[in-house]
Structure 1
Amino acid sequence: MQQILDAVLADGTTSADFAALPLPESYRAVTVHRDEQDMFDGVDSRDKDPRKSLHVEQVPLPELGPGEALVAVMASSVNYNSVWTSIFEPVSTFGFLERYGRLSPLAARHDLPYHVIGSDLAGVVLRTGPGVNAWRPGDEVVAHCLSVELESADGHDDTMLDPEQRIWGFETNFGGLAEIALVKSNQLMPKPAHLSWEEAAAPGLVNSTAYRQLVSRNGAGMKQGDNVLIWGASGGLGSYATQFALAGGATPICVVSSDAKAGICRAMGAEAIIDRTAEDYRFWKDENTQDPREWKRFGKRIREFTGGEDVDIVFEHPGRETFGASVFVTRKGGTIVTCASTSGYRHEYDNRYLWMSLKKIVGSHFANYREAWEANRLIAKGRIHPTLSRTYALQDTGQAAYDVHRNLHQGKVGVLALAPGEGLGVRDHELRARHADAINRFRNV
């Protein structure tokens, strides 16, 4: 492993040099264990502790198959799916691995008593399997997390519709929170040259998800002049949605939960900000009863920012807690686009406000390769910036997941894998200098 790191850090290492490096028999990885998947039975979700379930251990190097690549992971990041995996909610991920393993002898590699997790990476290609022509050892890459088989016609218009679509590192094994990761070659994209390893690893999942959800024709199809309500606008997803709205000529109405988070939105350039904690919005009277008066108070507050207009698009991901309000405040003919349910999966809303006002609810899940590529291209051009606030060592991934689970973070949190420190991997110093303040915006909170 040290030889691999030395090659990455050295100047002038060629593709042939990387191809000649011996591969280790094992590597360090963040895992959960099948025999511990019941460890939190009877414990409230909030009290489940990822520090108890996530292990950092040596695991065997997986076999490299056709159309695949082994990547030396310099840095990764923690997403909510890593938290869900660590607390075995809403289901244990070992069910995903077992079902995938039944697909083929090659897929059977993934069905193991441990699960290497993680759905982001920035690193260097070490090996490519048969049939890979676009990537070579030594290429500096990031990876998006869509894993597809594409043997069915269903996936060839939009790969997210492939019946065998999975999220790498969540529904597959050998994820990015490790020193080496196994990916399909069509997950790879060029690493933005002006970013460090940890900065480049941070946007992947959330940036692509926000792009499809808000910008793509498969999501809300945002256009110039739209008013866009963004829940959790300084968070991992919302911070990218806010940037896309501003860059695309829309007006984001940013909903946050503290003055500090409001400050982040202002720093990004947003002006319409609602601190839901300070303004004490309570959309539920109790766990079974919503309060339409609060929906109306919320809608009135939004119109104060928009000159009396309702929102064209709601960028939804909290789910149960906010969904009734989201449907209510959307303009006639508008769109509520949802990609998650972090506060609960059973959504309730008053359907009269949907059907009689011709509103649309659109489900959006991650992104296809083209959408992920376009989202990464905007990062590489310095149009959209990472929202990295803090970086952890690989052995501290449990603490990182705990902090995300308890919402103790801002934006995204990174994890150093092979990278021996922060700030490494920058190639385009001129572009970086032009955007340094934006790149470091979340670090300065």
Structure 2
Amino acid sequence: MAFGINKPFRTQNVLLILMIVVSFIIGWHVRVGLLSEPLGRRNSQSSDELHGYTTGSGGKTIGINGERKTPPKQEYVSSFNKTWLTWDKIDSPGLYRACVRRREQKPSTGGTIVMHGVSNKMRIETCIDSCIQSVFTYAALSHGDECYCTNVSSTSEFLSYVDSSLCDLKCAGDKLHHCGGKTFMSVYRTSVPDARCSSINFGSPGSLPLVALASYPRSGNTWTRELIEKATGLYTGSIYWRAERNLPISNKVFLGGNADYKNNNIICVKTHRHDRDSFEAAIMLIRNPLKAIVAEAFRRQIFESHRSPVDAIKFFKSEGWENFVYEQLKNWNSMNMHWIQSKRRLLPVVYEELESDTRRVLTEIVAFLNRTVEHERITCATQEHPSSLATFTSLGNHGRQTRVYLTADPFTPEMHQKIVDSVKLVNATLFQLHKRSLPIVYLKNTDVF
């Protein structure tokens, strides 16, 4: 027996099938569009928007349905900022320096400046490559589409840095990064050597005394070595040279780190040990223990244990954090006391003072090392390796964005009290023996660690 199909039933089925097919086609095209769209565009929403927040007048956050909501507070801040371009290689073609003001008529840098063109396809890499080809040490971008090249001098306005957020115009050919502003310039150091301080050599074997550059870890030893090498023209070394000589940093940045420091042909030697009797003199770097201990914790979590920043911050809320603080505070205290009480020539250097007044403190270091103070070399050194306070950024190791900061105080009141007691002891000893004092900020809480 044949089953007949009535006409109305068939018409409804056809319409239903057509609707299903059309829905499938539309859904497929949407999916393809999402998969093919660049990540930069797909992820262009802010963190607040992704959590269902918009910003109302006065910066207040408003939920999707109109209710007032508070976005979750970030537990850490990375120094990475997409307003400038960074590289993850030590031998990068250029390194971001800072944002600087430009004059109304034309940019001025205290040296010859060359306009290398205006382009609606301007990118940071394009400008840097152009300046390298023309053998200039600095590249500067402005207005989003202008590229300038220059060399700097001791009177250069490139020393007058402003906050990087003021360079707020997107590059014409790269919307992810900024190429200066209407009245500001994004400055990059090219890979062209600066003749004022690029010559660095070993001394003759046996010609230099053994001088330690001692510090608790994460107290500016690496940055200080860079400054000293540029300012004196002599390589620095490390007591860890056997372990460090195969690292990229020793092959590209610290060539003195490849050699046995006991050859007495380097200007000073990095150490984090209690080994004052091995040296004839010492420079002792002292940093705020609140900052140094947190920085050391991040170093171990991120670089030694290879954890992400999100995972690394969990350590500050773990049971191991308290033991770590007291252990590292003991190390900070004993390291400083050991070197401060040395009976040999000693120059105490406060890291925060080196940051805030680099040229003055670096001049004092060069004089302590019994080297001729060449002011042009010292200025060059401060331009080549500016402090984070000078540039309003924290560039990490050699221009790479590597640092992470906590936004909440990880120390308990009991921890703070022990830190204060330790600081007071070190300060009293420092003043008694060397007539110097630590900054009062060491006794105060800070906003970001």
TM-score (norm 1): 0.30
Return the index of the structure with the highest Cα Rg. Answer: 2
TM-score (norm 2): 0.30
Structure with more of its chain in strand, by fraction? 1
- Specify which structure has the bigger relative contact order, considering alpha-carbon pairs within 8 angstroms and separated by 6 or more residues: 1
Structure with more of its chain in helix, by fraction? 2
